[in-house]
Every structure is written in structure tokens, then in C-alpha cells.
Copies of this chain bind each other. A is one copy, B any other.
Amino acid sequence: MNESAAGRGHHEHLERLEQARAQILELLSRQAVERDLLSRSEQRRPDVVAALVLRQQQAALEQRLAQFHPADVAFVLEGLPPGGRRAAWSLVRAERRGAVLLEVSDAVRRALLAELPPDEIVNFVGPLEADEIASLLAALPADARAAVLARLDQAEQVEVRSVLSFPAGSVGARMNFDFITVREDTTLEAVQRLLRRRKPLPPHTTQLFVVDRDNALLGLLAVQKLLTEEPDTLVADVLTPEPVFFYTDDLLDRAVQSFERYDLITAPVVNLHRQAVGRLTVDSVVDTITERVQRQRLEEVGLSEEADLYAPVRVAARTRWQWLGINLITAFIASRVIGVFEGTIAQLVALATLMPIVASIGGNTGNQTVALVIRGLALNKLAPAQLRLMATRELAIAAYNGALWGSLLGVVTLALYGSLALALVIAVAMLLNLVVAAAVGMFAPVMLHRLGRDPVRGSSVILTAATDSMGFLIFLGLAAAFLV
């Protein structure tokens, strides 16, 4: 027993997963070699022994995958190139395909589902819960989705449609229906009898919902009360009367905050009449957090969706055009600012050498301000008073560091070019551009946030556009005025 428990220590476990992945890849390359040999060999007689070995390996691998947790199978699938992924998918037993699909990333899910006919999809979504079916259907094109929906039984169709009707990013779209309700005038003994009939209990059942006759939420009953209190106690006497709950149309992000703040495992979801309609669990919350982090990291660099690492090159290239275009436009504008001063540069070519320093340091320090503001916004820390305070601080820091580092850059310039005037110009330009950077670094995320846009997504582009153009303008403008 001890031995087998040791087998789940995660180090060894991860190694086993990597092994399985390597085996699939090896199997694939063997098959490829096989095909290659077949097509090349003069006599077109297949090598029976080799084929048999292959089939045995395949069967062994299938059995191996069947022992893994669906999330582990998903992990193996994620790391395979498209050909290998399809091969591995065919090794997953039909009854586990739904569970595996739930665990893979959106892009992989879409790629796998796109190749399956509705009938097959209906087969393996059968054992899933309504919220799980809904999240799989969300990855299907509209017509395939309708075809699968039509094949579900009536009750399930209603639940699935209800989940699908909530907008992405709302609590309703992430809730599940696995909750158990009890009345407040029952005894704990009766509740326990109820639970025994319902076994196995839904995962994460740490609380039961206490509702009135109209199904309106009155409070929660911690499951552990059933263990620690006397059986003849009434639910009403031991319930938690003011639980944290959510409305179906509450923002999921807010719910995530509450889960973090109050260390929740599950929370009830209610409709506008405060009737219990669903349940949010911490595992969805954890998924939401990690999905958001990954999405934001990609969106920050203009990859608008979780791009599958293995999508065709042309498709992948095209997803990057918007970002390329935006950046080309801002770079072009900055370039036109320089163009205005071509006459000045022709007279003093050192300006061309020095100007990128001013622009680039502005961008770098401005991004620090952006990061602080975004964190403040994410933590709900920045009320107007705090914003003003922070703006003053960031400007002061920029001025302080601008004066200090601008002087240093001035001294280096003086040493390199022997011109005090040039040294003064670059020092002042650096100071001014750091202040511009701090101002834009404050302004851009706050403005985007007020406009209801994600500040993570656009702030950096706005900032760089400003610090580049303004950096060139300030430096070359000062040079034109005072140097030539």
C-alpha cells in the first residue's frame, strides 16, 4: 500500500507522463518508418511481424492511458504535434473522451472536436454534467452545436441551454448544478439519510444549501456539522446564516476575488429572486485564474487567443497581423517625427546616434508605472484619492531619476562628443521624457480601465507610441532650438 501511494509522489508521476508522451511519439515515428518502408519496398508485401509488434504496443499504450487521470491524458495530448495528438486520441477509450476533452486547452479542444461527427460527440458527452457539456459545446461551430444539442435528452437540453445563455465571464457560465438543498426545519439525522440515498455525493460537497419552500436561499449547512452535532439538532440551529453568494450575472472576476479573500470552497449561485440555481466551486475558480493569466500574457503581445502551438504556419502568421500593423503604424509615426528634423540631423549626425537612448529609456521606465497601476487596479486599490497620490509620486520619481540618470548620460555624451551643449540637451530630454513616460504610464491604463477595456492589453502599445514619438520630438526639438 505504501509502495503504491509512493507512486503518486508527483515527481515520479510527471516522469511517467513524459514517458507515455515519448512512447506515443516513438510509436508514431515507427508507424511512419513502416509506411515509408512499405511504399519504398519493391515487393509490396507488408512486414507481418512488424505490424503485429506495432499493434501490441498500441494496445499496451491504450491500457496505460486508461490508468491515467483524464487531466494527465490531456497533458500528454497537449504536448503532442497534431499527428501524434490524433493518434493518441484514438487510444483514449470512448467513455473517457468527454472527461479528457474537458481538461485540454481551448485550441486543442477545438482542433479535436472539429474532426468528430455530432453523433460521436453525443456519445461521449452522455456521462458529463450539463455545465461540462456546455463548455464543450462552446468550442463547436454553431451548426454542430445545434446538432449535438438536438440529440440530448429533454431535461439535459434545458440545463445546457441555460448555461450557454450566460455570457462568457459571468458566474452563470461557470456554475454547475451539483448542489444539494435541505430545509431548515429538518433534523441533521434526516439530512444524513438524504445524503446516504444520494451517494456518491457531488465533488467538493462541503456545504449544503438551506432553502425555503420557494427554493430561496436561507443559508448554508456545513457538512461537518452533520459529523460533530447531535443527530436530533435542527438545520435551522446550526446553519451559516449569511453566506457569500453570487447572482448568475455577477462578473466571474469578482467572484474570484471573493473566493481568494474568504478562502471559499464552494458558494451558492442565485437568480434574481434569490432562488438557488447553481454552485460555484473552487476548482473552476482556480481554472479561471490560470486561464486569465495565460490569456492576459498573450493578449499583452497581441495574440488575441490561446493560439495552438501547432496551427498551420500561415494561420498562425495571420493571427499576428493586427499586432504587427498597430506597431508598424506607431513606429511609422515616430519615424515621421524624426523625418521633420532631417535637416537638423544632417548638420549634427550625433543626434541620430543618441536619440534612441532617450526614447527607449522612456518606454522602459513608463512600463514600470503601467505595471504598478495595473496591479493597483486589479487589487481594487486605486480610488480617486489614491490615484492622485500615486500620480504625484510617479511623476516625482520620474523627475528624480530623470535628473540623476540624465546627468550621467550627459557626462558620457560630453566625454564622447566633447560638446557641453549636446550634453545638456540630452540630459534635459531624458528628464522630460521620463516625466512624459510616467504621465502616460498612469494615464493609459486608467483610461482604458474607465472605458471598460482591459488595461493589460493596450497600455503598453499606447505607452511605447508616446515615449518613442515624444522622446524623438523632445530631443531633436531641443537640439534644433539650441544646437544648430
Chain A interface (Cβ within 8 Å of chain B)? Answer: 1-2, 4-11, 14, 18, 21-22, 25, 69, 71-72, 75, 78-79, 81, 103, 192, 195-196, 198-201, 203-206, 212, 216-219, 223-224, 226-228, 241-247, 250, 254-255, 257-263, 265, 274, 282-283, 285-287, 289-290, 293-294, 297-298, 300-303, 307, 309-310, 313-314, 316-317, 320-321, 323-324, 327-328, 331-332, 334-336, 338-339, 342, 345-346, 349-357, 359-361, 364-365, 367-368, 370-372, 374-376, 378-383, 385-386, 389-390, 393, 396-397, 400-401, 404-405, 408-409, 412, 464, 468, 472
Instruction: Tell whether, in the assembled complex, residue A245 and residue B9 are in contact, meaning their CB atoms are under 8 Å apart.
Output: yes
Number of copies: 2
A357 CA to B356 CA, complexed, in Å: 11
Instruction: Tell whether, in the assembled complex, residue A228 and residue B200 are in contact, meaning their CB atoms are under 8 Å apart.
Output: yes
Instruction: Tell whether, in the assembled complex, residue A263 and residue B243 are in contact, meaning their CB atoms are under 8 Å apart.
Output: no
CB contact under 8 A between A316 and B397, given known A250-B11, A368-B302, A386-B309: yes
Instruction: Tell whether, in the assembled complex, residue B244 and residue A224 are in contact, meaning their CB atoms are under 8 Å apart.
Output: no
A5 CA to B220 CA, complexed, in Å: 10
CB-CB nearest 8 A-B residue pairs? A352-B352, A199-B228, A263-B283, A71-B261, A327-B364, A331-B357, A331-B360, A338-B353
Instruction: Tell whether, in the assembled complex, residue A286 and residue B283 are in contact, meaning their CB atoms are under 8 Å apart.
Output: no
Instruction: Tell whether, in the assembled complex, residue B335 and residue A354 are in contact, meaning their CB atoms are under 8 Å apart.
Output: yes
Instruction: Tell whether, in the assembled complex, residue A5 and residue B324 are in contact, meaning their CB atoms are under 8 Å apart.
Output: no
Inter-chain contacts of A336 with B (CB < 8 A): 353
Instruction: Tell whether, in the assembled complex, residue B10 and residue A365 are in contact, meaning their CB atoms are under 8 Å apart.
Output: no
In whole Å, how far is A75's beta carbon from the nearest beta carbon of chain B?
Answer: 7
Instruction: Tell whether, in the assembled complex, residue B192 and residue A227 are in contact, meaning their CB atoms are under 8 Å apart.
Output: yes
Closest to A74 in B: B261
Report which residue of A241, A263, A372, A464 has the largest number of chain B beta carbons within 10 angstroms of its beta carbon: A263
Instruction: Tell whether, in the assembled complex, residue B72 and residue A261 are in contact, meaning their CB atoms are under 8 Å apart.
Output: yes
Instruction: Tell whether, in the assembled complex, residue B468 and residue A386 are in contact, meaning their CB atoms are under 8 Å apart.
Output: no
A480 CA to B244 CA, complexed, in Å: 69
A263 CA to B5 CA, complexed, in Å: 18
CB contact under 8 A between A393 and B349, given known A228-B201, A289-B289: no
Contact partner, A227, options B227, B259, B261, Cβ 8 Å: B227
Besides A21-B383, A313-B393, 13 more A-B contacts (Cβ < 8 Å) are: A4-B241, A5-B218, A5-B242, A5-B245, A8-B243, A205-B224, A286-B286, A286-B289, A294-B375, A309-B381, A327-B365, A332-B412, A349-B349
CB contact under 8 A between A317 and B357, given known A286-B260, A380-B75: no
A7 CA to B357 CA, complexed, in Å: 55
Inter-chain contacts of A293 with B (CB < 8 A): 289, 293
Q: List 7 A-B contacts (CB under 8 A).
A: A2-B218, A21-B383, A78-B381, A201-B227, A265-B282, A307-B372, A342-B353
Report which residue of A201, A314, A331 has the largest number of chain B beta carbons within 10 angstroms of its beta carbon: A331
A228 CA to B199 CA, complexed, in Å: 6
Inter-chain contacts of A412 with B (CB < 8 A): 332
Contact partner, A405, options B226, B324, B396, Cβ 8 Å: B324
A404 CA to B361 CA, complexed, in Å: 30
Inter-chain contacts of A11 with B (CB < 8 A): 250, 254
Instruction: Tell whether, in the assembled complex, residue B360 and residue A352 are in contact, meaning their CB atoms are under 8 Å apart.
Output: no
Closest to A105 in B: B379
Instruction: Tell whether, in the assembled complex, residue A314 and residue B400 are in contact, meaning their CB atoms are under 8 Å apart.
Output: yes
Report which residue of A301, A332, A408 has the largest number of chain B beta carbons within 10 angstroms of its beta carbon: A301
Closest to A299 in B: B371
Inter-chain contacts of A10 with B (CB < 8 A): 244, 246, 250, 254-255, 257-258
CB contact under 8 A between A352 and B357, given known A201-B228, A397-B320: no
Inter-chain contacts of A72 with B (CB < 8 A): 261
Contact partner, A242, options B4, B22, B224, B350, Cβ 8 Å: B4
Inter-chain contacts of A320 with B (CB < 8 A): 365, 368, 397, 401
In whole Å, how far is A433's beta carbon from the nearest beta carbon of chain B?
Answer: 12
Instruction: Tell whether, in the assembled complex, residue A372 and residue B201 are in contact, meaning their CB atoms are under 8 Å apart.
Output: no
